[in-house]
Structure 1
C-alpha cells in the first residue's frame, strides 16, 4: 500500500513545483510592468524637448491660443465680437530615442483697438510639436473677433482646429476638437445684445477642456468691447474694453 502512494505524492510535488515556477514567472512579469518608467511634462512656453532613451512614441495633448476680441466702433454704435478659442488635438506621434523636438506654444492674439472706427482682434498662434522641419502635430489658434460690417453684424472669431498624424504600421493617429467660436455682436442704435442703454461686446470662445486638465483661461478667446449708447445725451462711449486672448498649452506623456 505505501509503495503505491509514494509515486503519487512525488507526482503531486512535481506538479506543485511547476505551478510555483509559473506563478513566480507571472508575478515577476507583473512586477516589472508595474515599475515601468513613465514620464509627463507640461508646457506653457516655447522650448525644446529631448526624447528619453528607449522611447519611440509620445502621447500629446495640445491647445492653440485664442483670438483677441475686437474693439468697438463708437462712430457706428458698433460693439466688437469675441475671439475664437484655440483648437485641441490628442495625438500619438512616433519619435526616436534621444531625438530633440521643438515645442512652439501659441501666443495670444492681441485685442482690437476701440475708437471712432474700431479694429478687429488678431488671431491666436498655433501650438506645434516638430522634429527638425517636420510638424508632428499642431493645434490651431482661434480667429480674432471682428467689428460690425455695413449691416451692423460683427461675427465672432472662428474656433481653431488642428492636425494629427496619420495611422502607420509604427503607430500614430489621434483626433481633434475645434475651439468654440467667439460670440457675435450687433451694432447700430437699436443693437439687440444689451439694454436700451448699452451694446454688449461678444464673449470669447471657450476651448475643449478635456475633463479640466487645461489650466483655467488658457486657449480661451478674448472678449469684444462693449458700448454705452448714451442716447440721447451724447455719442457712445466704451463700457468694457476688448481683451487679448490667452496662450496655448501642451502636455506630453511617454512610457518605457
Structure 2
C-alpha cells in the first residue's frame, strides 16, 4: 500500500483536476502497478478514510493524494495582525513553492533543459505591482493551481502510467491531528520528496524526513486522535504555512 513514509517503485498513473462544491483540487493517482483504464481500475485507486483520517479500506493498487490551492492567510491569527504586504508576500512564496512542487515531479520524467520556461503559474492573470494584492483572492490561487496542473499534464502526460517511470516518493502525515498522506509543500528545492528510481540506488537517495517533520511525528501513520477533514481549513495560521517575511519580496522576481 502506498501511504505515509518513503515509498518505492511508485507509478504516477494520472493527474486530474477535480471540482466539487465550488472547490478545486488536483488529484495525483499513485499506483504500485500500471493501471488499465479500460477495466475501470483507476476509479478504485482511492483509499477510504474515516473522519479521523484512519484508513478503513484500501483501493488495492494505490491511492489518491490531493493538492489544494494555496491557502489565504488571515489578517489576524494567534493574536497577531498581519499587513496586506506581509500576507501578499506569504502567498507569493507559497505559490512559488507550488510551482517547485510540479517542477520536482516533472524532473522525474524529463531532463532539466526541457523544463526551462515551461511552468507559468500566472498565465492568463494580469498581475502587476499595482494590483498584486489580488493574490489574496481564492479565485487567483485556484487559477494558479489549474495553470500548473494543465501545464504539467501537457508536458509529461505521455510518460504517466508507464512502468519505466517509477519513482521514490515521500508522503508525510498531513498534520499531528490528521493521518492523511500528503505531499511536502515547503522547502522543496532544499529537501526533495520525489526522485526517479532509475539511476538512483537507495543508498544514494536524497529522500528523507526533515528534523521538523520527525519532531512533529509527520512520519507516523498512527491513528488520529481528533475529528478532522482531509481538506485544509481557512483557520490555518499564516505563520504555519510560511514564515512571514520581515521585508517585502522582489515583486519582479515573484511574478516571473
Same fold, TM-score > 0.5, yes or no: no
Query: Whose strand proportion is higher, 1 or 2?
Result: 1
State the TM-score, normalized to the length of structure 2.
Answer: 0.26
In terms of Rg, which structure is larger? 1
State the TM-score, normalized to the length of structure 1.
Answer: 0.26
Query: Whose helix proportion is higher, 1 or 2?
Result: 2
